[in-house]
Amino acid sequence: MAKGFAAAGADLVIASRDLDSCRAAAAEIEKIGRRALPVACHVAHWGQCERLVDEAYAHFGRVDVLVNNAGMSPLAPSSAETSEALYDKVLGVNLKGPFRLMSLVGPRMVAGAGGSIVNISSTGSIRPTPNMAPYAAAKAGLNTLTVAFAHEYGPKVRVNCIMSGPFHTDVSKAWSRSEEFTRHARASFALGRAGEPDEIVGAAIYFASDASSFTTGAVLRVDGGLP
């Protein structure tokens, strides 16, 4: 998505917990000819969210688009064996962080020229399984927050959500190309496979741009035809 936004003419703030990864991604963006600011941020910690937003505005002067893409979905053997620390960590990254970032950036967008917020949810929010219940609940909450913030910050700010299915990423490499998943995808998904990372870019740019000027509070499934 960062490369897609850069190719469309955007300068970017790239944030994650790993500053070295942010710097590497920023270097890729600069090769495209756009500016990129790398910032280390753990979104579950609100103080770090505040610092991220302050640095973004100090560096660029404004934020036109916020993409809430941080996520984690560790599996638990059972609900009874899910520790409080794991539960809090999953809810913190997937729900608490996006809530705080929207609450920080939204008012500044309203006070300025407006903007677009794009949340990244998961089809797990509507197809939960027992081993990922906290993650599914957090993403369902993010679907709900999308609608709430769309009403709070409209009409100057649009807030939408991409509900993504399985994609081939570094996080999913342990299972998304496994024989078991491949057989399941071929038998169950309309497209018969997981998505490639660049296949989510079009949806993200649609929500970020004026192409979606009459769309807010929407949750769009990009999942290869989940059954």
Q: For 171-195, write each residue's pLDDT tens digit.
A: 777 778 788 888 888 998 999 998 9
CA distance 21 to 70: 14
CA 88-14-198 angle, to 5 degrees, is: 95
Terminal Cα-to-Cα distance of the chain (whole angstroms): 26
Give the pLDDT band (50/70/90) at residue 165. very high
- Cα–Cα distance measured from residue 205 to residue 17, given in angstroms and rounded to the nearest whole number: 24
Digit-coded pLDDT (tens) for 91-122: 999 999 999 999 999 999 999 999 999 999 99
Residue 87 predicted with pLDDT over 80 = yes
Q: Shortest CA distance to 216 belongs to which of 52, 56, 100, 102? A: 102
Beta pairing class for 36-40 and 12-16: parallel
pTM beyond cutoff 0.85: yes
Task: List, for residues 55-65, the tens digit of each pLDDT value.
Answer: 999 999 999 99
How far apart are alpha carbons 72 and 76 in whole angstroms?
A: 13
Q: Is the per-residue pLDDT at 84 higher than 90?
A: yes
Question: What type of residue is 87?
Answer: Y
Positions marked catalytic = 135
The domains of the chain, with CATH numbers, are 62-222 (3.40.50.720)
- Asked if pLDDT for residue 74 goes beyond 80, the answer is yes
Tokens of 57: 């505005």
